DNA sequence: AATACCTCCAACCGCCCGTGG
DNA sequence: CCCACGGGCGGTTGGAGGTAT
């Protein structure tokens, strides 16, 4: 027995919103606010829509100062860096990008940024072919073992299965999101145990002063997991040996001579077993290099962006989340105060 | 020109969490 | 403490539009 639906599905309109519906919803909220009850709102204004649908429409589309598309490079970097830090917490990421919605960012990541990342990885890899014979050999042997099952690791079949790195909340290993995240997190793990980001060759800088845009992080709050959910959300639970210091920080950007992907390649050469979760990149590589892959996809390259943000990680997800939520809330509240 | 395939994104779905009774 | 409810979130899907064959 599931829970009761939030609205009467039979009497609720679904699908794209009409301009009339938009106007109705917008003008009502602008005049009266949401009333603190999205479920009741559509009935009040005579909309045959689910309350959740109204909320979504408002937040993602009708709300003022929403920007769609045209993501800047800085925004790309922020998204990537936050993804490194906190994973697919789109609402938190959106809170750091004024005018952006979580849905937009999520779509943007899934359709563009992820591919950029893969494209860059591919490019770097091709450039480095020959400099890593071991890898090349594995690749060659892997190619002979292409399988319909994407979940199989086609490379390194001759190697013993490495002991899994004991991440407390290990996710499926070949899930795209989790794989990229693990990859990034692992790369983001180049921080010393004393909490200082390693400066050697990484020339960490802020691409923009995010803190001046909107208070991104609370630098002072201790990051302590107190619940299973927090542990799950805690980047350190996935990367337990890393400590991150946000003092005086904010987001930092990896510039430096060594691109992180080049370093990734080095890591792959020197210690492939550390890269579990990366295998899918090679699988993607193969899949995308097959004749059927599109010019568009092949042309996508991480090189189109100058750098990948590579922060010392927003170590305080809770603080971040709290602030992000509060901020978004206040943002709306300023414009459309709602009676409580 | 027709068809197949791909990309993108608005919207939906279902789960989880916080809150109030 | 328990339960019901609403809000919020991340994942997924459907379809429109674009591109390749």
User: H-helix or E-strand containing A158?
Assistant: none
Q: Among all chains, which residue has been given the structure tokens 């408002």?
A: A58
Contacts of A106 (CB under 8 A, 6+ apart): A88, A90
CA end-to-end span of chain A, whole Å?
A: 33
Strand runs labelled E in A216-271? none
Closest nt by CA–C1' to A232: B16
Task: Sketch the domain layout of chain A as residue ranges.
Answer: 9-62, 73-330
Show the tokens assigned to A83: 């993804």
Collapsing DSSP states into helix, strand and coil, what is residue A191? strand
Task: Classify domain A9-62 at the CATH class level.
Answer: mainly alpha
The reply to whether the CB atom of residue A67 sits less than 7 A from any atom in nucleic acid chain C is no
Give the angle subtended at the CA of A93 by the CAs of A254 and A183, to the nearest 5°: 50
Q: What is the pTM of this model?
A: 0.55
User: Is residue A89 within 8 Å of A321, Cβ to Cβ?
Assistant: yes
Give the DSSP letter string of A39-97. TTHHHHTT--S-HHHHHHHIIIIISTT---S---HHHHHHHHHHHHHH-S-HHHHHHTS
The reply to whether the CB atom of residue A38 sits less than 7 A from any atom in nucleic acid chain C is yes
User: Is residue A62 within 8 Å of A22, Cβ to Cβ?
Assistant: yes
Closest nt by CA–C1' to A230: B17
Rounded Cα distance between A145 and A141, Å, is 7
What integer pLDDT is reported at residue A261 of this predicted model? 40
Residue A191, φ and ψ in degrees, nearest 5: -125, 145
A306: left (phi over 0), alpha (psi -120 to 50) or beta: alpha
Which residues of chain A (151-180) touch nucleic strand C at CB < 7 A? 177
- Enumerate long-range contacts of A91-94, CB under 8 Å, 24 or more apart: A91/A321, A91/A324, A91/A325, A91/A328, A92/A317, A92/A320, A92/A321, A92/A324, A94/A324, A94/A328
User: Is residue A236 within 8 Å of A315, Cβ to Cβ?
Assistant: yes
Give the DSSP letter string of A283-332. HHHHHHHSTTS-HHHHH--GGGSS--B--S----HHHHHHHHHHHHHHHH
Collapsing DSSP states into helix, strand and coil, what is residue A197? strand
Show the tokens assigned to A60: 């993602």
Total length of chain A? 340
Interface residues for strand B (CB within 7 Å) are A 2, 9, 13-17, 49-50, 52-53, 56-57, 60-61, 68-69, 103-104, 106-108, 110-112, 115, 228-229, 292, 294, 296-297
User: Is residue A49 within 8 Å of A42, Cβ to Cβ?
Assistant: yes
What integer pLDDT is reported at residue A84 of this predicted model? 80
Closest CA to A309 of A211, A198, A184, A199: A184
The tens place of each residue's pLDDT in chain A, 340 residues long, gives 445 567 777 778 888 999 999 998 988 888 888 888 888 888 888 888 888 899 889 988 888 888 888 888 888 888 888 888 788 888 888 888 888 888 889 888 888 888 777 666 666 666 766 554 444 333 333 333 333 333 333 333 223 333 333 333 333 333 444 455 555 545 443 333 333 333 333 333 333 333 333 333 333 333 333 333 333 333 333 333 333 333 333 333 333 333 334 433 443 444 433 333 333 343 333 333 433 333 333 333 343 333 444 443 333 333 333 333 333 333 333 333 333 2
What integer pLDDT is reported at residue A34 of this predicted model? 82
């Amino acid at each position: 027995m599931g829970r009761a639906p939030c609205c009467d599905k039979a009497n609720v309109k679904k699908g794209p919103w009409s301009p009339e519906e938009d106007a109705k919803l917008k003008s009502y909220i602008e005049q009266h606010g949401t009333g603190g009850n999205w479920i009741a709102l559509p009935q009040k204004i005579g909309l045959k829509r689910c309350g959740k649908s109204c909320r979504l429409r408002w937040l993602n589309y009708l709300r003022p100062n929403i920007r769609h598309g045209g993501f800047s490079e800085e925004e790309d970097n922020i998204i990537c860096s936050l993804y490194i830090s906190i994973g697919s917490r789109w609402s938190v990421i959106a809170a750091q990008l004024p005018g952006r919605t979580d849905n937009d960012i999520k779509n943007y990541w899934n359709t563009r940024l992820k591919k950029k990342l893969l494209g860059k990885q591919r490019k770097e890899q091709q450039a480095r072919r020959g400099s890593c014979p071991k890898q090349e050999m594995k690749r060659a042997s892997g190619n002979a073992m292409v399988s319909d099952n994407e979940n199989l690791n086609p490379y390194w079949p001759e190697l013993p299965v490495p002991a899994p790195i004991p991440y407390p909340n290990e996710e499926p290993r070949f899930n795209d999101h989790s794989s990229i995240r693990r990859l990034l997190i692992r790369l983001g793990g180049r921080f010393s145990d004393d909490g200082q980001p390693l400066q050697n060759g990484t020339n960490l800088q802020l691409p923009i002063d995010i803190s001046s845009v909107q208070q991104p992080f609370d630098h002072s709050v201790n990051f302590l997991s107190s619940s299973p959910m927090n542990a799950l959300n805690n980047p350190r639970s996935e990367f337990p040996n890393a400590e991150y210091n946000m003092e005086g920080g904010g987001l930092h950007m990896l510039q430096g001579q060594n691109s992180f992907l080049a370093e990734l390649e080095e890591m792959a050469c020197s210690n492939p077993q550390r890269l579990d979760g990366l295998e899918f990149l090679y699988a993607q590589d193969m899949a995308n290099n097959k004749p059927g892959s599109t010019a568009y996809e092949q042309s996508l390259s991480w090189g189109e962006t100058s750098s990948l943000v590579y922060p010392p990680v927003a170590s305080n997800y809770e603080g971040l989340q709290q602030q992000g939520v509060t901020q978004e809330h206040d943002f709306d509240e300023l414009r459309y105060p709602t009676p409580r």
